[in-house]
Amino acid sequence: MTQLDVLESSEPDAEVVAPEKPLMVAAAEIPSTDLELEVKYSKVVDQLEKRYNLRVKEPLVNYNTDFCKAYAVTDSLTKDTDTNYALVYEKNLPFRQEMILRLKRLSLQHLCNPIAVEVIPVSILNEQRFVIIFAKQKGISLRQFLSNNGPCSEKFIIEYIINPFNTMLRVLGEYHITHGNINLDSITIDQNNQIMVGECCSKSCGYSQKVLYEPLDRVSTIPIGKGDGYENVDYFALGVLCLALVIGKEPADDMDAELFLESRFTKGSFNTFAGTNKFPSIFDDLFKGLINDKRSESWNHRQITEWVKGKIFNIISPTSHIEASRQITFNSQQFFNCRALTNSLFKNWESARRFFKDESVIKWIDRSVRDTNKAARLREVYKTHNYNFARNMSTEDDLVTSALVILDPDGLIRFKNILTHIECLGLLLAYGMAKKENEYIHAVVKTLKLKLPDLWASVQPLDQKMASAKALSQLERIHARCKFIQMFLILFS
């Protein structure tokens, strides 16, 4: 069996041998045409930008991340040996190149920015690696601060949390950068109540983010499958962070994880987070605007600025997510919206196989949800599946995967053990090759084989057509890269 056969095989456990040299898909983003955003290379061993020297015999384990190893650094200019540290990327893993270099140029206040970035020879590894220098965060984590001091006042939250964040997120938004890891543990605060938000360069966006701080479309994805994010991701996290500071603990911290997620899908995030937690009415509009499951209604820096100035929005409390006039039953549960149903079907895959054996879901979509386009697409999927299944060209899992793409409004692709955003197939492929995660590679190939991106785009609302076109343009490039990798593997098999 060639390695190309492995990629096209329906068996995700088949062995794939990753090539020794980095693949073209190893970069998480298309390299920028801006020369100042190109990675620089150096031949000087263990030194960045003729200034920062890596002390490779002094690893800093506490600063390690999933993608990088940390080492002590000496600044040859100031002779400082303790202020900074270096992160050395693992070989072949995808990284956010353009974002990293842009953050180095922006040097935003209250954010742990890259100080130096270069590809250098690392002596302990005897090869070149991508290396970033950061300053160590000072103070204690916000979690420890909250434990020491209890709930925070309105004045404290506005002055030391909201105002710094609002400025920082506005600038990040202008450059389409999503931090993706805003939470009580990633932020430190010093004796002067000045915050510092941890770095967002050493992993893919949201890779280590806690489910609590993620919007609904990112809560169940695999870590590498969240994509580059979007503006609302950080504002949602800011809302949850402020709520935690107001009530003195993370919301729903005493709730079962599965019940918590189920409640968010059925009742909505704000209703789940607010629950029995009491907070001053002054924060009502802020939390409803930030902890919002509807991306089009979610707040950003503009509304926050108006709120800080004293504007009252009187936002109506969000109701439970009901989009159908009648319920549909699955696994003895009743569902009134596609998002909650899709989540449950994914969590109970074997039952989902049985669920899709009849066409009752099509009738529900057509008559109760009243989405004739989705119903028509589901009929086409059933027809194609039945034709291919009779000829051993399709499986029950293929039907479930295709049907869930149509049902889900968030652009997610679901396989039996994998849930990923449609935009990050390139990341998934690069990560799968680097880590020899054959199931991830199989998912990418299967996605293209079933034409799931086209299927997803066909059921998007009209106001999302531009976004769909952009995603499909990106996926065309990913498809070309996949073809390249298949040819590459044929040559080396």
Question: Is 405 within the bounds of a domain?
Answer: yes
470 located within any domain: yes
Instruction: Please check whether residue 20 lies inside any domain of the structure.
Output: no
Quote the CA–CA distance of 210 and 411 in Å, as a whole number.
21
Count CB neighbours of 395 within 10 A: 14
314 lies in a domain? no
Is residue 436 domain-resident? yes
Query: In terms of domains, do 153 and 291 share one?
Result: yes
The mean pLDDT value of the chain amounts to: 86
What does the pLDDT look like over 32-43, one tens digit per residue?
445 467 889 999
Q: Cβ(199)–Cβ(84) under 8 Å?
A: no
Query: Is the same domain home to 380 and 232?
Result: no
pTM for the structure as a whole: 0.88
- Check residue 491 and give its pLDDT: 54
- Does one domain contain both 382 and 453? yes
Per-residue pLDDT, 301: 96
- Same-domain pairing of 71 and 153: no
pLDDT band at 463 (very low <50, low <70, confident <90, very high): low
Q: Could you give the angle at the alpha carbon of 266 between the alpha carbons of 260 and 267, nearest 5°? A: 80
For residues 217 and 298, state if they share a domain: yes
Least confident stretch, 35-44, 55-64, 147-156, 366-375: 35-44
* CATH code at position 148: 1.10.510.10
Structure tokens that stand for 82 in this block: 């303790």
Q: How far is CA 154 from the centre of its chain?
A: 30
pLDDT for position 34: 55
Quick one: 157 and 214 in the same domain?
yes
Residues forming beta bridges with residue 121, ordered by sequence position = 128
Q: How many domains does the chain have?
A: 3
Task: Give me the pLDDT at residue 225, please.
Answer: 93
- Which of 106, 135, 164 terminates a domain? The answer is 135
- The verdict on 169 and 271 lying in the same domain is yes
Q: Give, for 431, the enclosing helix (H) or strand (E).
A: helix 425-435
Same domain, 123 and 160: no
For residues 165 and 130, membership in a common domain is answered with no
Q: Is residue 323 part of a domain?
A: no
Residue 228's pLDDT band (cuts 50, 70, 90): confident
- Of 135, 156, 188, the residue that ends a domain is 135
The string of DSSP letters for 132-201 reads EEEEPP-SEEHHHHHHHH-SPPHHHIIIIIIHHHHHHHHHHHHTT------STTTEEE-TT--EEEPP-S
- Same domain (yes/no): 283, 182: yes
User: What pLDDT was estimated at residue 336?
Assistant: 93
pLDDT score at 133:
98
Q: Quick one: pLDDT band at residue 23, thresholds 50, 70, 90? A: very low
Please write the tens of the pLDDT for every residue from 98-138.
999 999 999 999 999 999 999 999 999 999 999 999 999 99
Would you say residue 61 lies in a domain? Answer: yes
Q: Are residues 415 and 342 in the same domain?
A: yes
For 414-445, how does the pLDDT look when each residue is reduced to its tens digit (9 = 90+)? 999 999 998 888 888 889 988 889 999 899 88
Largest CA distance in the chain: 73
Does the structure show a pLDDT above 70 at 7?
no
Last residue of a domain, one of 75, 108, 135: 135
Query: Residue 5 falls within a domain, yes or no?
Result: no
- The CATH number that applies at residue 96 is 3.30.200.20
Looking at the fold, whether 118 and 167 belong to one and the same domain comes out as no
Whether residue 343 is predicted with pLDDT greater than 90 in this model: the reply is: yes
Lowest-pLDDT choice from 25-34, 102-111, 219-228, 382-391: 25-34
Which residue, 235, 214, 232, 234, is CA-closest to 223?
214
> Which residues span the domain enclosing 228?
140-308
Q: How far out from the chain centre does Cα 29 lie?
A: 14
